[in-house]
Amino acid sequence: MLNKKFVLNLFTIVVCLLLFVRCGSSIESINYSEIEDYNHLPEDDKDLWFKSDHENSVLKKSGLVYNDQDLREYINEIGFKLIPDELKKSIVPFKFEVIYDPELNAFALPNGTIYIHLGMLAKLEDESQLAFILAHELVHVIKRHTAHAFSTISNTSAMLQIFSVATVLGFSTMQSNWAGFWNSLAQTGLVLSAYASVNGFGRTMEKEADITALKYMLDNYYDLNGAVRVMEILLEKYDDPSAIVVFFYGNHPLLKERIEYLKNEINKMNNQYSLPDTLIKNKEKYISSTNFLKEKIIELWIRNGKYRDALEDSKKYSEMFPENPEIKYWTGEAIRLSTDNPDSIQIAEDLYLSAISLKFDYAEPNKGIALIYEERNDFEMAIEYYGKYVELAPNSSDRRYILNKIDELKEQIVK
């Protein structure tokens, strides 16, 4: 059952959206390269940019923007290459950010801010795939798809759209004790982010974004097949048509349909242009820039209470990185939190011990082992491992809580 605060926040989003949308007005095309400054934008765009700036600020303060400087620079380097030359010095303040969330998603705000979820970055395999996603979102900005969508939407359809957002947010909340990205949208009333990230812009504009993205990729000699592979990756992850969580293509054309028309368009381009024999994939560079995200994804699934997803990814990543202590620890956490089966709990303990053997000063696995021993009522061993945890993590946020727990367990032994 949803709590009253959550329902109220959803209602706030509904009201904001209904006040915000207009009925049946038309939007003329504009060329950002011909506009001198913000004041010369159409009034609709000024309003959208103002709201976008506000939502950027809220997202940044929420802690949901992932601030790894090297990763951010890498993504911005690729993103800025893809911007058409005539718009590189336009008034649009393009920037590319990472959302600290494990789902496979990306979205754009009308002021030129493009967000890609950490989960998407972890799943992609090379730079050409990333280029397609960033180019797709760039098209939404450049073609002003948000302005088009909000000018033609009716009040009734707006209500239906936002209720679909509410369904996803409600699902996320019921499955997790952690707020997460989708619950945060509800709590903070981020209408544009919710609309763009969950609903998309309908089949016509999504197809336009897909096809135009191929042209942006071609201008930079990226392997166009990366676009098709992105759709295949999404299909592999979200192949259940009954699933509520469909994000990146929530209201997009069906994935198989997108794969088909992308292949057709790529064939046309191959016949139309004289392409070099080798197009850019940059697989090694992409992997070296994003491999560290694998353990983060498992952690985020766990924090979202989605243990099946955590175990699914941990199995794959454990095979890829058998000597990674963080992956072993988070795999142990996923097992411990998802079951009370003694055999499985023993596997979790073994994984914690393996993590410690690979990284002797790794504090968290000691807490995991302590929790297992406490559950077994072996308080002496629990105290020993809690002690190791606070020794190795003297500045941990839960230090006082763990020290109090140690005192409580000592009292249990005396009794």
DSSP code per residue over 30-92: --GGG--SGGGS-HHHHHHHHHHHHHHHHHHHHT-B---HHHHHHHHHHHHHHS-GGGTTSS-
Q: How confident is the model at residue 129 (pLDDT cuts 50, 70, 90)?
A: very high
The tens digit of pLDDT for each residue in 384-404 reads 999 999 999 999 999 999 999
The string of DSSP codes covering 82-93 is HS-GGGTTSS--
**pLDDT at residue 84 tops 70:** yes
If phi > 0 it is left, if psi is from -120 to 50 it is alpha, else beta; for residue 109 that is beta
Residue 359: pLDDT over 90:
yes
Average pLDDT, stretch 40-67? 88
Calculate mean pLDDT across residues 62-78. 94
Run of H or E residues at 99 = strand 95-99
* pLDDT, tens only, 215-259: 999 999 999 999 999 999 988 887 644 444 444 444 455 788 899
Q: What domains can be seen in the chain, in order of their start residue?
A: 4-283 (no CATH), 306-414 (1.25.40.10)
Average pLDDT over all residues of the chain: 84
Span 95-123, mean pLDDT?
A: 94
Average pLDDT of span 360-384: 97
- What is the model's pTM? 0.84
Structure confidence at residue 242 (pLDDT): 41
Report whether pLDDT(173) > 50: no
